[in-house]
């Protein structure tokens, strides 16, 4: 069968270029691609060609378009080739993941946009972080490869059982790295108890020394911290201060709550986020909301954490007293009053509404993560901010760039190992 020739008809508009699918030189009027004039934004409209009706049709039931907002696309897992009709690749297993996604998020996602921002859904657009897509592709590819081999192995085993003279017993499969992790991730950690046979199988098949296991764990920890720092730096690269930026930081700390332990002088764990301090019980119910409640592992004492953004100004632009005395910004003073008020409200209601939660509030610490020291353009501003910060004993103030340095110091310890 001779395959039809597929080309694109170009239409130039003021802000973008449109490309329509042509089959054997004839314009089908099917909008196949759009691209902004600066070439950063591109949107493909995946299709398949119905040879009987001789017309293109939308490839996916729910997803109409797939694009990028920063000029690049994944190297694998997605194809922008016209002959394949654009879309997610089958051999990587990604297409099955997105079929499942649209089945579970019906009418919520019409467009998938590859981005360097955090993964979220906005106005029927799935903004998919390129690194998150890479993780999805890696997992689906591993599953697709192992599933295909396991299926063939099962079929051959069944045939050998039925017809042992005709069909030889299949050779044992080669283990695909990552299969055990994927298999075990399906189960609740608390429910996993290895039997004697399980343990024996692991010992026999995984011929590794204890030191090798410890080295591997250190390497995994190092890579994880590197990924967290990379994500941190990506958010730090945002130039404008918006409410969306504050929410991005909130989600970052919610995803990586261990960072709070790096700030406090004691081991602390994440306890609640966006917590209503005036609520009926510890499930909330008021409009005085603290970003995070952290809790000491030893005393169960809670701490109140407010997250601002790295673009929040630390001092006023002009000196309070010339030439070298600067006031801190209204954002700083407002944040201090806010978090202390939240603590006070919490204490008023604590003993009556504590419920069964194992927490205490004993002169609890308050913390604000805000701004960047590097944003202070001169020494006088830095000194004024530091004087204010050190004189304020009730609320600890940590900047985002200081927090980054703490994480990089932690990473350096793993590298030295």
Tell me if residue 330 falls in helix, strand or coil: helix
* Better-scored residue on pLDDT, 239 or 158: 239
* Better-scored residue on pLDDT, 138 or 36: 36
Q: Is residue 120 part of a domain?
A: yes
pLDDT value of position 154: 63
Q: Is residue 199 part of a domain?
A: no
Q: Is residue 186 part of a domain?
A: yes
Query: Which of 128, 162, 191 is the last residue before a domain boundary?
Result: 191
pLDDT value of position 168: 79
Q: What is the mean pLDDT of residues 66-71?
A: 93
Q: What is the mean pLDDT of residues 67-84?
A: 92
pLDDT value of position 281: 46
Query: Looking at the structure, do residues 135 and 249 belong to the same domain, yes or no?
Result: no
Query: Looking at the structure, do residues 76 and 148 belong to the same domain, yes or no?
Result: yes
Task: For residue 103, give every residue at least 6 positions away whose Cβ sits within 8 Å of its Cβ, in sequence order, or none.
Answer: none
Query: Looking at the structure, do residues 25 and 148 belong to the same domain, yes or no?
Result: yes
The mean-pLDDT minimum among 106-115, 143-152, 161-170 falls in 143-152
CATH of the domain at 391: 3.40.1350
DSSP secondary structure letters along 171-239: PPPPPPTTHHHHHHTTS-GGG----HHHHHHHHHH----HHHHHHHHHHHHHHHHHHHHHHHHHHHT--
- Domain span including residue 145: 1-191
Q: What is the mean pLDDT of residues 112-135?
A: 90
pLDDT beyond 50 at 284: no
Query: Looking at the structure, do residues 16 and 150 belong to the same domain, yes or no?
Result: yes
147: confidence class by pLDDT, cuts 50, 70, 90: low
E strand or H helix at 416, and its extent?
helix 400-416
Summary mean pLDDT of the chain: 82
Query: Can you give the pTM of this predicted structure?
Result: 0.51
Round to whole Å and give the CA distance between 139 and 390. 48
The share of the chain scoring above pLDDT 90, in percent, equals 36
Round to whole Å and give the CA distance between 416 and 404. 19
Query: Looking at the structure, do residues 280 and 132 belong to the same domain, yes or no?
Result: no
The mean-pLDDT minimum among 100-109, 184-193, 218-227 falls in 184-193
Q: What is the mean pLDDT of residues 109-116?
A: 92
Answer yes or no: are the C-beta atoms of 169 and 160 closer than 8 Å.
yes
Q: What is the mean pLDDT of residues 134-152?
A: 72
pLDDT value of position 30: 96
Q: Is residue 216 part of a domain?
A: no
Round to whole Å and give the CA distance between 334 and 69. 36
Q: Is residue 237 part of a domain?
A: no
pLDDT value of position 209: 53
**Neighbouring-strand partners of residue 146:** none
The share of the chain scoring above pLDDT 70, in percent, equals 76
pLDDT value of position 155: 62
How many structural domains are present in the chain?
2
């Amino acid at each position: 069968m001779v395959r039809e020739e597929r080309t694109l008809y170009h239409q130039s508009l003021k802000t973008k270029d449109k490309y329509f699918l042509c089959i054997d030189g004839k314009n089908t009027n099917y909008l196949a691609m759009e691209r902004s004039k600066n070439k950063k934004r591109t949107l493909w409209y995946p299709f398949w060609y119905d040879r009987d009706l001789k017309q293109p049709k939308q490839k996916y039931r729910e997803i109409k378009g797939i694009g990028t907002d920063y000029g690049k696309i994944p190297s694998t897992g997605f194809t922008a080739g016209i002959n394949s009709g654009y879309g997610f690749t089958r051999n990587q297993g990604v297409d099955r993941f997105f079929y499942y996604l649209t089945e579970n998020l019906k009418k919520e996602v019409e467009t998938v946009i590859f981005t360097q921002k955090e993964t979220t859904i906005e106005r029927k657009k799935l903004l998919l972080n390129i690194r998150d897509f890479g993780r999805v592709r890696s997992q689906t590819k591993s599953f697709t490869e192992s599933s295909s081999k396991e299926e063939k192995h099962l079929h051959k085993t069944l045939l050998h059982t039925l017809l042992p003279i005709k069909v030889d017993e299949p050779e044992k499969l080669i283990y695909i790295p990552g299969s055990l992790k994927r298999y075990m991730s399906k189960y609740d950690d608390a429910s996993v108890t290895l039997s004697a046979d399980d343990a024996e199988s692991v010992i026999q098949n995984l011929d590794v020394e204890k030191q090798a296991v410890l080295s591997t764990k250190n390497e995994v920890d190092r890579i994880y911290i590197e990924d967290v720092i990379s994500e941190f730096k990506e958010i730090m690269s945002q130039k404008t201060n918006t409410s969306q930026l504050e929410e991005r930081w909130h989600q970052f700390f919610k995803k990586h709550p261990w960072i709070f332990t790096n700030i406090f002088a004691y081991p602390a764990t994440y306890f609640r986020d966006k917590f209503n301090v005036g609520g009926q019980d510890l499930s909330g119910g008021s409009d005085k909301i603290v970003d995070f409640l952290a809790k000491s592992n030893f005393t169960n004492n809670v701490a109140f954490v407010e997250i601002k953004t790295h673009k929040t100004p630390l001092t006023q632009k002009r000196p309070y007293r010339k030439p070298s005395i600067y006031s801190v910004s209204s954002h700083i003073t407002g944040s201090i009053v806010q978090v202390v008020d939240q603590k006070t409200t919490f204490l008023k209601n604590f003993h009556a509404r504590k419920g069964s939660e194992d927490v205490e509030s004993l002169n609890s610490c308050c913390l604000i993560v805000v701004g960047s020291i590097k944003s202070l353009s001169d020494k006088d501003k830095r000194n004024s901010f530091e004087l204010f910060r050190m004189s304020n004993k009730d609320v600890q103030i940590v900047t985002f760039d200081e927090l980054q340095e703490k994480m990089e110091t932690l990473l350096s310890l793993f590298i030295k190992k």
